[in-house]
Structure 1
Amino acid sequence: MRSFITIIAIAALSLSSCKKMLEEKPYGVFANNNYYNTEQDAMNALLYAYDPINNIEYGARFLFNLVDITTNQYKFYGKGLETNLYTWDVDPNTEEFLYFFKYAYLGVSRANSVLENVEKMENISAASKRQFLGEAHFLRAFHYFMLVRTYGEVPLHDKVVESVSQTKADYGTIQQLYEFIIKDLEAAIPMLTISKQAGRADKVAAQFLMSKVYLTMASSGMTGAPGYEWVGDYEQTYTKAAEYADAVVNNQSTYGLDPSLLNVYDVNHQADGMEHIFITSMYRDGKGFEGNFSQLPQMFGIGLPSIFIASSLTGGAGVQKVIDGTSCWSYYRVDNDFYNTYSNDDIRKKMMVTTIYNENGSVLANYAPSNINSGNATVSAFYFPFCRKYTDPQSLTNRTSANLYLMRFAEAALTYAEAAGPTTEGYKWVNNVRERAGLQPLQTGLSPKEFREAIWQELTWELAFEGHGLFELRRTNRVVQGITNKQVKQEYAYFYPVPQREVDLNPNK
């Protein structure tokens, strides 16, 4: 998969510059007359459909910009404001809105190509055909789930775009989009088997995505989140979410809650770790452009070269590098106040680094908010506790294997708990997550409302810095009151604007 994605990433970038990426024209599609002749062709087309998720403007960076930077998790501290999303100073021409939209639809287009063409193939085994079609249905659902939670009503493309006129698709309502997503996942689940592969989805990923879809609908309906007035019986919808989450947490043995929190984020165990249900596939030996390899450690680390941190979360196990041989950029800066929302007993708090070391293990500097004013260059770089979820001690200078954790078992456990409510099984799964974090069991006797609100807080702590923040606030109707370190632009609190370029070219809304 790595070598093929490297080839197609270079090819894609050679076909268009960033300025041309928004042109409304068919792109990235394999046609019957020049492809889909062999089973390997079909496989390559499927991998091509996965590729947009790794791109800078979609998963590799802009997901964090759109979904986490806008929340309490990050703060810019008056330093190098490289994206206006830190302050919600955004409009329909904001760069992230433009390119995130572009790459999500690139994924939709390629998934549509696989669905239309592989179905008609004869020179392919029945098992491979089912697998490839199942993954393509999953991918189309995944991209539309990203789109509907980001923008609300968006164009609904259910076929390959073969001409400019077909780019002007009608916009789906939010309800229609969810119905479309559910239909895709209903098709995907029976087609797929449980087969763990880094960078690809299987049956468990499809079941988990379905549970997230129903959970989003249920919680949005329950809390009165804007755009979800059509949701009827939210408890019945929660029951559907629990049904699919149960298949993930109780009815398979390939994935599970990793006993070691640090192991979840160990770059050497991302591909084979039991926690990761769906993860990107960027590798330090990838050539060409970012997306084949990752630069997430540079984005999260502080602006010093060769930073050493504790090898263990509990101390006494030496030190390791965040990244080898290059400086980090201090782009994603953890908010000090958010850091302090964690209990000191919570091991997850230690995923935010507060001490850096020399190579021999002696302390080099300790974090403090006042460090920002220090005259010492090392100390002044350490004014926020930086996130260590993205590290690669074996990096090849600027190229790393740190990936995005798109779907983790811990989230599935908390999804099940929220959907099931304060039942024995609901308490079991939230307490399993809390136990790994070093915390005591959740208080018993909570009402359904109190229990679910506790789960929302648990999700905030567990999924911090992983591209979920604003989605979680939106589905629980807490955006304005839940973001306290920024002035939310209320007109975009629940849905970002569809990019102006798209509106100009496709006025069918």
Structure 2
Amino acid sequence: MKYINKTFIGLIMLLVSVGFVSCEKFLEEEPRGFLAPENFYENERDLFTALVGVYDALGTNSETFLARRLHYLTSLPAGETYTPTLSDQRLLANYTFTNDHADINRVWSSMYAGIVRANSVIHRGASVPMNEGLKQQYIGEACFLRALFYFYGLRLWGELPLIVNEVTSLGDVNVGRSSLKAVYEQIIADLEFGIQTVPPTNQEGRATLGAIKALLAKVYLTRASSAAGGPDDYQLCATLCNQVLDMPEHGLMPDYQLIFGPPNEFNRESLFEWQGDRKLSPLGEHSILGSFSLPRGIRIFPEQTASDGGSTVSTVAYFNLYDERDYRRESTFVYEGESFNGQWLSWEQFPTPYPAPCWKYVDRTATSRNDFAFCGNFIVLRLADVYLMRAEALNELEGPTDEAYSMINTIRERARNRNGNPTDFPQNLEGLDKDGFRDAVLLERAVELGFEGHRWFDLVRTKRLVATLKAIDSTLPVSEKHLLFPIPPDELLLNELITQNPDW
């Protein structure tokens, strides 16, 4: 059934609704009902509750945005994952989707829902009587979240309707698409404000100074190779990355497996992560990523049934990017295991014959199915990404300098630490020219950051999406038009000022 997109009507409803679902680590509070914004923002507690509503827009009920739908758009079309069981999502993996695909509509809708909530906090927050420093911090966090939503949207759709004021009528959202330059400038302005107002340490699951600087570095790195690119973008990226790496609050975890899973939430390497822990929110912001990526027919926890898992698997081509000697391979995939009749099977013999990319989104220590399958946070930004961004930016500026090698080799050195037992793989890189180093960084990002929401964006910004996928399957109908997703057709009907992306 076609998903009927009602974004703009929903935005207006959100405007008058302040019944935000609260994240339990932030604030335990009953919904406040339906109030006009001018009657709601009366004190610090009101502003904080509204801010929690913006965080809540990142994902709700294992369904919207980071909780589920965004991953379909960034993993399946990247040749990273495939779905044996979900027919609608298989269209994304096979590049047979059309402009009215339901997941594209849902991501667009939830993105703008988050932007509208952020706009309300930013606009109304200024007049709330409370401690000025804390007020500016809350507004800075909302600016970070608005920038994050717009940055995802810019990379998915290109030019976007830029809505930065509080929405009070349908006329406020019936605007045309702003230029890439204008959207980038708004994202940068929001993040620069956040840098001035958000502290380096904060409560778990909320923005920090390190997260904001890392996101801004990624914005500059992405803009550098776009039509809106500026001459200083690579240098700005490299400088911001260095500032984050110098922060005492952050550092690489000594073992790759210590980065992920509920026992390791909000560790020193994690800069920003979305809470998907069912233990905290049984009916709310839990993650379905672990459940979807469990291997079907292979028992890896006591309560697992033969039908569990298998909705999302790794493609064989992506799995083959990982050398069998690489510790990150066994830390990311289930590629062998015991069947329910006691046979030991390799992934080729699984009932769903693909490696399972589950280890980053499950609790290996859990004793129940729900705790095992529904408790993995989604890490939006972590420090290893910053090392690799700086390596890439330095190479684009000067070629593979000693500092650039140091960045990527630091990540490879950590990968050699297998449960405290050093190995000799992967070895440090050396002797590459600029093109070879660029290729090496892209491969390192694929292996280090697998299934963390970066692969599609990396292939698009480096202009390698079509060639990479065609090299795997020459019959795949992917083309240059797929570098951007289509604007949902319902939006075109609701807003005559919006135009469609080329060839859609």
Give the Cα separation in 2 of the matches to 1:194 and 1:326: 45
How large is the RMSD of aligned CA atoms in angstroms?
2.4
Aligned equivalent of 2:448: 462
1:499 aligned to 2:497? no
User: Residues 246 and 488 from structure 1, CA distance in 2 versus in 1: closer, same or farther, beyond 3 angstroms?
Assistant: farther
Is the CA contact 2:118–2:143 (under 8 Å) kept in the aligned structure 1? yes
Structure of greater relative contact order (alpha carbons < 8 Å, 6+ residues apart): 1
Q: What is the alpha-carbon distance in structure 1 between the residues aligned to residue 64 and residue 485 of structure 2? A: 16
Q: Find 2:335's aligned residue among 354, 359, 367.
A: 354
Deviation of residue 209 (structure 1)? 0.4
Are the equivalent residues in 1 in contact too, given 2:312–2:356 (CA < 8 A)? no
Aligned to 1:315: none
* Aligned-partner SS, 2:271: strand
CA distance in 1 between partners of 2:172 and 2:302 (Å): 47
Alignment of 1:8-19 (within 5 A): 19=4
SS state of the match for residue 432, structure 2?
coil
Paired AA for residue 329 in structure 2: K
Contact residue 291 and residue 308 of structure 2 kept, 8 A: yes
After TM superposition, the structure 1 = structure 2 runs for residues 49-64 of structure 1, keeping only pairs within 5 Å, are 49-55=54-60, 56-64=63-71
User: Would you say 1:274 and 2:260 are equivalent positions?
Assistant: no
- Distance in 2 (CA, whole Å) between partners of 1:430 and 1:404 is 23
Aligned equivalent of 1:343, options 323, 327, 352: 323
Deviation at 1:243, TM superposition (A): 0.9
2:229 aligned with 1:231, yes or no?
yes
Contact 2:140 2:197 in 1 (8 A): yes
- Cα distance in 1 for partners of 2:440, 2:477 equals 24
| Counterpart mapping for 1:166-181 below 5 A | 166-181=172-187
Look up the match of 2:131. 125
* 3-state SS of paired residue (1:380): coil
Q: How many residues align?
A: 454
Task: Give the share of equivalent positions with the same residue, in percent.
Answer: 28
Cα deviation for residue 337 of structure 1 reads: 2.5
Q: Give the counterpart letter for 2:142 in structure 1.
A: A
Select which of 58, 61, 73 maps to 1:66: 73
Q: Deviations over 1:354-394 (max 9, x none)?
A: 222489xx97422242x2xxxxxxx4245434431111242
Q: Distance in 1 between matches of 2:345 and 2:280?
A: 34
User: Aligned pair in 2 of structure 1 residues 229, 381: CA closer, same or farther (>3 Å)?
Assistant: closer
The equivalent of 2:32 in structure 1 is none
Q: After the TM superposition, which of the residue ranges 49-58 and 236-245 deviates more from structure 2?
A: 49-58
**Which of these residues, 189, 199, 204, is aligned with residue 205 of structure 2?**
199
In structure 1, the residue matched to 2:120 is 113
Distance 2:196 2:454 in 1: 27
1:213 corresponds in structure 2 to 219
Determine if the alignment matches structure 1 residue 298 to structure 2 residue 291: yes
- Partner residue of 1:262? 257
Structure 2's unaligned 5+ residue stretches are 19-35, 417-424, 499-504
Aligned residue type for 1:301: L
Q: How many Å apart are 1:130 and its aligned residue?
A: 1.6
Provide the C-alpha distance between the structure 1 equivalents of 2:480 and 2:367, rounded to a whole number of angstroms: 42
How far 1:504 moved relative to its partner?
1.2
Matching residue within 332, 345, 359 for 1:388: 359
Is the Cα contact below 8 Å between 1:257 and 1:409 reproduced in 2?
yes
Distance 1:490 1:237 in 2: 28
Check 1:50–1:447 CA distance in 2 against 1; reply closer, same or farther (3 A cut): same
Give 1:80 deviation, angstroms: 4.8
Which of 157, 170, 173 is residue 151 of structure 1 equivalent to? 157
Partners of 1:67 and 1:469 within 8 A in 2 = yes
CA deviations over 1:320-370 (Å, ceiling 9, x no partner): x397679533111111232122112211111211222489xx97422242x
Alignment of 1:406-417 (within 5 A): 406-417=380-391
Match of 2:101 among 91, 94, 111: 94
Matched, 1:366 2:345: yes
Alpha-carbon distance between aligned partners in 1 of 2:426 and 2:296, rounded to the nearest angstrom? 36
Residues in 1 aligned to 2:342 and 2:453: alpha-carbon distance in whole angstroms: 31
CA distance, structure 2, for counterparts of residue 121 and residue 172 of structure 1: 31
Flag the 1:175–1:488 CA change in 2: closer, same or farther, 3 A: farther
For 1:447-486, list aligned pairs within 5 A: 447-484=433-470, 485=472
Alignment of 1:178-189 (within 5 A): 178-189=184-195
Contact 1:416 1:426 in 2 (8 A): yes
Q: 2:497 aligned to 480, 503, 508, which one?
A: 508
Q: Give 1:449 shift.
A: 3.0
Partner Cα separation in structure 1 for residue 77 and residue 367 of structure 2: 29
Q: Which residue type is aligned with residue 309 of structure 2?
A: W
Shift in CA distance, 178/415, structure 1 to aligned 2, threshold 3 Å: same
Number of the residue aligned with 2:49: 44
Mapped to 1, the partners of 2:278 and 2:347 lie a distance apart of 32
- Tell whether 2:278 aligns with 1:284: yes
Question: Is the aligned partner of 1:246 residue 2:242?
Answer: yes
Question: Could you tell me the TM-score, scaled by structure 2's length?
Answer: 0.84
Seen in structure 2, the aligned counterparts of structure 1 residues 358 and 74 have a Cα distance that, compared at 3 Å, is closer
Point out the more displaced range, 178-187 or 392-401: 392-401
CA shift digits 1:268-287 (9 cap, x unpaired): 1113x111110011222345
Deviations 1:386-416 (A, max 9, x none): 4311112427544622111111111111111
Label 1:285 to 1:76 Cα distance change in 2 as closer, same or farther (>3 A).
closer
Instruction: Tell me, in whole angstroms, the C-alpha distance in 2 between the residues paired with 1:26 and 1:190.
Output: 31
Matched-pair contact (CA < 8 Å) for 2:313–2:354? no
The 1:33/1:395 distance shift into structure 2, 3 A limit, reads farther
Structure 1: segments with no counterpart, 5+ residues: 1-17, 221-227, 309-320, 372-378
Distance between the aligned counterparts of 2:207 and 2:167, measured in 1?
Answer: 24
After superposition, give the CA deviation of every residue in 1:170-201 in whole Å (9 maximum; x if it has no partner): 21111111111111111110111111433211
In the alignment, residue 170 of structure 1 is paired with which amino acid? G
